[in-house]
Amino acid sequence: METLRLLNEHLQKGDVEEVRKLTEQVIAEKQDTKKILDDGLIAGMTLIGQKFKAHEIFLPDVLLAARAMYAGLDLLKPLLISEGIPMIGKVVIGTVQGDLHDIGKSLVAIMLKGAGFEVIDLGRDVAPEKFLDTAKETGADVIGMSALLTTTMPVMKKVIDMAKEQSVRNDFKIIVGGAPLSEEYANEIGADAYCFDGVNAVDCVKSFLGVG
Amino acid sequence: MRNLLDRIKGGEVLICDGAMGTMLMTEGLKAGECPERINIENPKILESIARRYFEAGADIIEANTFGGSPLKLAQYSLEDDTEKINKIAVEAVRRIVGSKAYVAASCGPCGRILKPYGDTDPEEIFLGFKRQIQALIDAGIDMICVETMTDLAEATLAIKAVKSVSPSTPVAVTMTFDLTPNGFFTIMGNSIKEAAAGLDDAGADIIGSNCGNGIENMIRIAEEFKKYTSLPVLIQSNAGLPELEDGQIVYPETPEFMAEGCKKLLEIGVGIIGGCCGTTPEHITAFATAVNDFSNSQIDS
């Protein structure tokens, strides 16, 4: 227990080396894999998300903590797979076509990964077909789209309309976010939810999937 | 034309122009297009925007070079055109204003995050800015506005790049702050106090804030800057934060509303007032009137 608490704390400090060492240690101690994930990595990253949201910490702290989380997660992944522990859901995420902004979308991806979701990050400038094809191929539960420009917001509608045309709209929940967006706009284009930040996106996806 | 810094130090308040990006959108800049591509494809648009701001009463007109660092242009595979893109933008403004207004170059963030938080070495960012700034100096700009910065370390690299190319060219640096329960901070965690000290140390001639806030928050930001610096302060406020109206993006703050705010900025002692996203030539006219009224009232009293 003590080691998991330390793991959580070092993750929050962004100490990659220490997180790697502690994760190796708890794996060697044969601690429950799910518990390492939940109480060590996810718990630490959730706190980071909340502190960032409350403006107690800033972007550099989140980026460092995320790197530490990935270091732990990489070690844990083979065990999660071999023990058949499912991730709690799969999300395909990206910034829409024509939009090169990356940071907001990456923050949401970090928070979702940190909450135990499998995240397929398509990056920026993602074509509508790419969102849908990837979601179909991977059997994703959720598609997340980000737009930081008022001029690229309409691409989100294009993806949703395309999903309807292909009769796959009900196969996924679709969430949207980005500075110029609003709940009103999300409703207007037929998205399932507008998420105003990473923590909110995690809550939202969890409620869709009936977890947490 | 008299030295810009001497004029400000002599008590004059200068007017900078308003938004470029949102103006380009009304001129047909499309979804996700590189705003600097217009420099190559249609420089007439740059002249028309410069003319409108000049006629509105701006003393300083910014060239369309915000994303003109090769690191940023590389996102659109335009890095090989760095020199051309920056040169055309400066020349377009110069054709309109001649020596009747200052031509300023805009230098925005390069779009990369510095190590250890991101993957980019300081040297790479410095050299990127240096290449852009060399092109701007060669094209004959009067000052450089390093703007919309959220990382003091990146802003410092930009200042150093200017000083390494042309130590005598005035550099203004503005950063973008968010209001948190603990006061104003950039997303990277720089406070106004820290920004003021760091930018001064790095050799900035003018410092302040642009973007991210409407005029009311900008008044608070200006007050705080004045507390921590003796350098001239530059404020370029958004016309509020964008709102959606019938599917269209609108910026809520009117020229009249913002001009009222300008009076407060003048009382605080801001040296240059301009606009950022959502401001138009009409806003700049209102700001210029506010500055004139203020100067006249100072003379009267």
Interchain contact B178–A (C-beta under 8 A): yes
Evaluate whether ipTM surpasses 0.95. no
Residue B121 scores a pLDDT above 90: yes
Interchain contact A88–B (C-beta under 8 A): no
Instruction: Report CB contact under 8 Å: B189, A58.
Output: yes
Task: Tell me what the mean pLDDT of segment B142-147 comes to.
Answer: 98
Q: Which pLDDT does position B21 carry in this prediction? A: 86
Tell me which of B244, B250, B277 to substitute to probe the interface with A (most A C-beta atoms closer than 10 Å).
B244
Residue A151 scores a pLDDT above 90: no
The 10s digit of each residue's pLDDT in B163-209 is 999 999 999 999 999 999 999 999 999 999 999 999 999 999 999 99
Q: Which pLDDT does position B96 carry in this prediction? A: 98
Positive/negative CA dihedral, B175, B176, B179, B185: negative
pLDDT level of residue A212 (50, 70, 90 thresholds): low
Residue A153 scores a pLDDT above 90: no
Positive/negative CA dihedral, B39, B251, B233, B209: negative
Q: Which pLDDT does position B31 carry in this prediction? A: 64
Q: Which residues of B touch A149 (CB under 8 A)?
A: 31-32
pTM score? 0.90
3-state secondary structure of A126: strand
* Nearest Cα residue to B280 out of B249, B253, B246, B244: B253
Q: Which pLDDT does position A35 carry in this prediction? A: 94
pLDDT level of residue A211 (50, 70, 90 thresholds): confident
* Nearest Cα residue to B108 out of B80, B163, B68, B137: B68
The 10s digit of each residue's pLDDT in B246-293 is 767 789 999 999 999 999 999 999 999 999 999 999 999 999 999 999
Q: Which pLDDT does position A43 carry in this prediction? A: 93
Among B21-25, B99-103, B108-112, B125-129, where is mean pLDDT lowest?
B21-25
Q: Which chain A residue shows the shortest CA-CA distance from B30?
A: A151
Query: Mean of the per-residue pLDDT values for chain A?
Result: 93
Instruction: Report CB contact under 8 Å: A55, B242.
Output: no
Instruction: Report CB contact under 8 Å: B189, A59.
Output: yes
Distance from CA of A166 to the nearest CA of B (A): 25
Give the contacts of A195 (CB within 8 A, at least 6 positions apart): A108, A144, A175, A176, A177, A201, A204
The 10s digit of each residue's pLDDT in A7-25 is 999 999 999 999 999 999 9
Cβ A7 vs Cβ A23: under 8 Å: yes
Among B32, B189, B242, beta carbon nearest to A99: B32
The 10s digit of each residue's pLDDT in B204-232 is 999 999 999 999 999 999 999 999 999 99
The 10s digit of each residue's pLDDT in A47-83 is 999 999 899 999 999 999 999 999 999 999 999 889 9
Interchain contact B153–A (C-beta under 8 A): no
Interchain contact A200–B (C-beta under 8 A): no
A&B contacts, CB < 8 Å? 61
The 10s digit of each residue's pLDDT in B23-41 is 898 888 876 678 999 999 9
Residue A87 scores a pLDDT above 70: yes
Distance between CA B103 and CA B150 in Å, rounded?
24
* Nearest Cα residue to B106 out of B160, B144, B72, B61: B144
Among B32, B182, B186, beta carbon nearest to A151: B32
Q: Which pLDDT does position B300 carry in this prediction? A: 73
Residue B22 scores a pLDDT above 90: no
Interchain contact A185–B (C-beta under 8 A): yes
